[in-house]
Structure 1
Amino acid sequence: MKSETNADLPTSQLEDPGDGRSIESFLGKVVKEYRTNQGLTIADLAEQSGLSRSMVSKIENGQVSTSLDSIVSIARALGISISALFKNFEHREGNAQHVKAGKGMEVVRRGTTKGHTYHLLAYDQGPVKLFEPFLITMDDEAEVFPTFEHPGTEFIYMLQGKMEYRHGNRSYLLQPGDALTFRGSVAHGPERLIKLPIRFITVIMYGQSPELDT
């Protein structure tokens, strides 16, 4: 078994100036990800790398500043290059919100109780609501729609079907691929459903566009 050199000392938390992650915690996360993806246990990786189980555990938990010899041993045991372990180190930590198809929260808007569903595609977690994206489906030609008014700017992108959409005193024919952007403070809403089912994406952005306010 290879010895763990004096370079494997308690971590000094050397920081990446990009986003504050330590090298140790980043390496540990990557090693664990490669290990689990290959179906290996900590004991398996320890045996194949020549390190002790406790050392592999400390490395994965970012608790030691790992020597180059130990990193080489782990990379060989995992069948990857050393560069593969660090290839994403300078990338900022991802924190995207992923909503799977059909899993958006269904919400009810005023006056839309049948044949008209809203699925919220992102959940704004900040103290101030910046935007709301919805997938809207309409499949009942008998539905009567109210008009809507709200702060900010709204963007619509048609995916399926055909309808006339009113904004103020003007009406627009919307078909797949069409987009419509307008001030939310002016009364608006579907006026006539021409081809069902109708599906479109609408994004309400809170904070008005200067071009649309003129």
Structure 2
Amino acid sequence: MDKLPDTHSPSLENDVGAAIRELRKRHELTIAQLSEQTGVSRGMLSKIETGQTTASLDTLARIARALGVSMAMLFSRYDAVGASAQHIKKGAGMEVVRRGTKSGHTYHLLSYDTGPTKLFEPFLITMDDDSQRYPTFHHPGSEFIYMLEGELEYRCGQQTYLLEPGDSLTFQGTVPHGPEKLHRFPIKFLSVIVYPQAQEG
């Protein structure tokens, strides 16, 4: 008896890869041409399109830019196949390459926003190394931090705040912010960025 496909657990990698392949063909681009435009190797692009690997958000952003679409479009198939909820298993969040990410500093994106505009980004951030200084971040919208493990000082503008497990911090993302001093490892906290939405006229 043939095994029925599991419609309850669509593969994010397969759906993103299929969306990229469909968009590339719609633009009549070869993998070699897309590779040249994005700086991503042909082998990596092939693996992404066939769902054999998970691409970083930095790579997906370059692909989306080359295809002339928002990054949300790359997740549209996953959103359509799934139900009204998005379930990310422990350890399955996409690892994000962002400015400031170094060895021992890990950012996992816990939800992939698939709407026409980016509403929010929830990260699970883990730090177990303090060998290098952190850069200062700033972005649109508001940010909410909830401390899970460890202890650190977090800078927001001219102020620093000591964050311990159970503490939270909320601030405007346009204010320069970032970790200032790491006191007790391992450090783990949730960071949720909520982006401003255009008002409907």
TM-score by length of 1: 0.53
Trace 1:1-214 onto structure 2 (pairs within 5 A).
95-207=84-196
How much does 1:101 deviate?
A: 0.3
> Residue 116 of structure 1 contacts residue 137 of structure 1 at CA under 8 Å; is this kept in 2?
yes
- Superimposed CA distance per residue, residues 31-78 of structure 1 (whole angstroms, 9 cap, x where no aligned partner): xxxxxxxxxxxxxxxxxxxxxxxxxxxxxxxxxxxxxxxxxxxxxxxx
Kept in 2, the 8 Å contact 1:115–1:143? The answer is: no
TM-score by length of structure 2 reads 0.56
Q: Which stretches in structure 2 are left out of the alignment for 5+ residues? A: 1-82
Q: CA deviation at 1:131?
A: 0.1
Indicate conservation of the 8 Å contact 1:163/1:190, yes or no: yes
Which ranges in structure 1 are unaligned for 5 or more consecutive residues? 1-93, 209-214
2 CA distance for matches of 1:178 and 1:172? 10
Alpha-carbon contact 2:101-2:107 (below 8 Å) kept: no
Aligned mates of 1:143, 1:116 — CA distance in 2: 10
How many angstroms does 1:109 deviate by? 1.3
Deviation at 1:115, TM superposition (A): 1.2
Tell me how large the CA RMSD over aligned residues is. 1.5
Q: Matched residues, percent identical?
A: 67
Q: Which has the larger radius of gyration?
A: 1
**Alpha-carbon distance, 1:99 to partner:** 0.1
| Residue 130 of structure 1, CA deviation | 0.2
Shift of 1:113: 1.9
Distance apart, 1:143 and its partner CA? 2.5
CA–CA distance in 2 between the matches of 1:97 and 1:171?
Answer: 35
d(CA) in 1 for partners of 2:190 and 2:132?
A: 19
Matched with 1:76 is none
The total of aligned residue pairs comes to: 116
* 1:114 positional shift: 1.6
